[in-house]
Amino acid sequence: RMAEEGADMLDVGGESTRPGAAEVPVEEELRRVLPVIEQLVARTTLPIAIDTSKPEVMRAAVAAGAGMINDVYALRRDGAMEAAAELGMPVCLMHMQGEPRSMQAEPHYDDVVGEVHRFLTDRLFACELAGIDRRKVLVDVGFGFGKTLQHNLALLCALERFASLGSGVYAGLSRKSMIGTLTGRSEPAERAAGSAAAALIAVQRGARMVRVHDVAATVDALAVWQAVHALDTVPRREEKPSAPRWPDDD
């Protein structure tokens, strides 16, 4: 259904990374994701991303047909950097303070934008040292991963700063608790409008890829924005202003 609604990529994950989520064993994660990837490969030509931090899952998923690695730990787990370099697939590096089980327990930053920027800069450098081409890397500030509402808003406002790192910016805001807090929508499924608005803001501020649940609504919103943006960026011909005319000039 997402492919029919206009998705450009499908993201598959077998381990929840929501606040408080418990870790899933490698064998169980493989059991969950491999059949899904194999079925998607048989049914669609869209590229598939594997959302995992485990090198064993990265290798098996790519062998099954996945073409991108999305890692909330930014390749910091043992063997993950080596696996990503060996596989040669595009990779997304995300910032997270702590780990899923405890990341929302009073997150604190002295300068959230500066600290997240430094973290992602360091991870990009580590990727280059491992032989991963920076042009194959996306960076994700990690909305909702060890951040308060104000942290998330500050990062969204400063997203252009991350676009200047030389890698594409990936933004995952869809149905997040920050959208629920701002709109008063307690149920994630009711946050489509707020999520589409957040996606538009992210794209305006430099995001090259947005991860969404409500594909059709987001695609439509982006189509309208892109049409207006295309006209707004066309240089206007400067015209010499005409002299004012007064009633007694005739």
- The CA distance from 136 to 89, in Å, is 7
Q: Is 32 assigned a catalytic role?
A: no
Contact yes or no for 46/10 (Cβ under 8 A): yes
Strand arrangement, sheet containing 10-13: 10-13, 48-51, 68-71, 91-94, 137-140, 168-172, 207-211
Contact yes or no for 60/34 (Cβ under 8 A): yes
Phi, psi of 217 (to 5 degrees): -65, -40
Catalytic residue among 54, 123, 175, 176: 176
Catalytic residue among 211, 236, 237, 240: 211
Find the DSSP H helices in 44-91: 55-64, 80-87
Catalytic residue numbers? 176, 211
